[in-house]
């Protein structure tokens, strides 16, 4: 295992809140320069400032991952600023209506756009930068909804789609020094769907800092080693 991430460049999407914020902070603490992506510049700049105040290195890039042109422009800036990307965490995601009846076409397009197309747009646009890193890692954040049918049609379909995309990234990256993993977390204490934060016991809702630690652990693994997939759940809600 590498002792630190000094000289590594990490891109984290959805980095202004929740799991992405926790992952960005931990990658920065381990020595990486973290490029933060989210739509709203205000919260993103606040997270970048917090990381810098703690002694880390962070830059903010306001970008909607569902807008291919914005993603291309951001990737061009990242290439100019860093020339390579060692770690890409595709974490940006939005919730969707829970039932088939409640899901209209606009919901479907928006959720597939962010949660699935966004992963492809960002990974595709950064492919050259990932290749240049020599031993890059793409870490895709799905959810247990990506392992079961039913439930929210748009959210579940996007997360199932990520499984296929993760496999395609792993296959394409194998001989180019790009590894890919997909994580299927269960419920996390991030205020998802407006849930109050810090109310449920940790056995029911995972601390995003703990999940971020697992992601850091994967990012630190040696280049000849790959975690293909992992399911992470709070103890009282094990995935069956």
Question: Per the structure block, which two tokens stand in for 10?
Answer: 């990490």
Q: How many whole angstroms separate alpha carbon 65 and alpha carbon 221?
A: 27
How far are the Cα atoms of 140, 173, 179, 228, 235 from residue 134, in angstroms, in the given order?
A: 19, 11, 10, 19, 37
Q: How many whole angstroms separate alpha carbon 238 and alpha carbon 240?
A: 6
Residue whose structure tokens are 């499984």: 163
Question: Which of 173/234 has CB closer to ligand NAP?
Answer: 234
Question: Per the structure block, which two tokens stand in for 129?
Answer: 């930068």
Question: Which of 15/133 has CB closer to ligand NAP?
Answer: 15
In contact, 15 and 47? CB cutoff 8 Å: yes
Nearest approach, Cβ of residue 141 and ligand NAP (Å)? 5
Nearest approach, Cβ of residue 221 and ligand NAP (Å)? 21
The one catalytic residue in 121, 137, 155, 184 is 155
Longest dimension (CA), the chain: 50
Question: Which of 18/173 has CB closer to ligand NAP?
Answer: 18
**Contact footprint for ligand NAP (CB under 6 A):** 13-20, 37-40, 43, 64-66, 91-94, 114, 118, 141, 143, 185, 187-188, 190-192
Burial class, 85, CB count within 10 angstroms (exposed 0-12 / middle 13-18 / buried 19+): buried
Question: Which of 82/121 has CB closer to ligand NAP?
Answer: 121
Say whether 155 is catalytic: yes
In contact, 108 and 134? CB cutoff 8 Å: no
Nearest approach, Cβ of residue 21 and ligand NAP (Å)? 7
- For the annotated catalytic residues, the residue numbers are 155
């Amino acid at each position: 295992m590498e002792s630190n991430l000094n000289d590594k460049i990490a891109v984290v999407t959805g980095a202004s809140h929740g799991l992405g914020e926790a992952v960005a902070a931990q990658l920065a603490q381990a020595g990486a320069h973290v490029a933060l992506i989210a739509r709203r510049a205000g919260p993103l700049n606040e997270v970048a400032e917090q990381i810098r105040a703690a002694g880390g290195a962070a830059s903010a890039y306001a970008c909607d991952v569902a807008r291919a042109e914005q993603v291309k422009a951001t990737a061009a800036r990242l290439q100019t600023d860093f020339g390579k990307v060692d770690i890409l965490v595709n974490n940006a995601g939005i919730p969707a209506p829970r039932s088939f009846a409640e899901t209209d076409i606009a919901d479907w397009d928006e959720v597939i756009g962010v949660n699935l197309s966004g992963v492809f747009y960002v990974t595709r646009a950064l492919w050259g930068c990932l290749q240049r890193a020599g031993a890059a890692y793409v870490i895709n954040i799905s959810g247990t909804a990506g392992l079961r049918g039913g439930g929210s049609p748009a959210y579940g379909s996007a997360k199932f789609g990520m499984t296929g995309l993760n496999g395609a990234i792993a296959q394409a990256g194998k001989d180019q020094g790009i590894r890919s993993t997909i994580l299927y977390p269960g419920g996390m204490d991030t205020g998802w769907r407006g849930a109050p934060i810090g109310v449920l016991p940790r056995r029911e809702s995972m601390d995003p800092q703990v999940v971020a630690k697992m992601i850091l652990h994967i990012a630190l693994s040696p280049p000849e080693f790959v975690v293909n997939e992992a399911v992470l759940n709070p103890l009282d809600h094990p995935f069956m």
